[in-house]
Structure 1
């Protein structure tokens, strides 16, 4: 069973579309929706309907958020 090159979903053989490039690579698409989005050079990570990596949320939560220094405007700071 081939996997879609855009959404990485496994699909059965009679469905989908397979494109062979001149350099010998094969590109598999499970639907025309995936083909159009790949043609428009969209990022599969940013589309809502593509299955995300299960650890994707954990990676986002673990990343530290940088906070800048906060300066309060008081009478002593103003000159």
Structure 2
């Protein structure tokens, strides 16, 4: 069995180039994931504060509704 030396070198070179491309792509993907994870870590405190503000806003709405009902009851004949 005989192999053409050029064909073998070409296949090895093609596999090496493709492997390098895969490694570069994987490195870029890992960097993007790391960037997204950092953004999530930074936004977590903001999300918690927003949840507290929403809860307080709900309480303020309830108080306002109660005040409006009292004023309407007082103004009614």
Which TM class, normalised by the smaller chain length?
under 0.3
Ranked by relative contact order (alpha carbons within 8 Å, sequence separation 6 or more), the top structure is 1
What TM-score, normalized to structure 1? 0.25
What TM-score, normalized to structure 2? 0.26
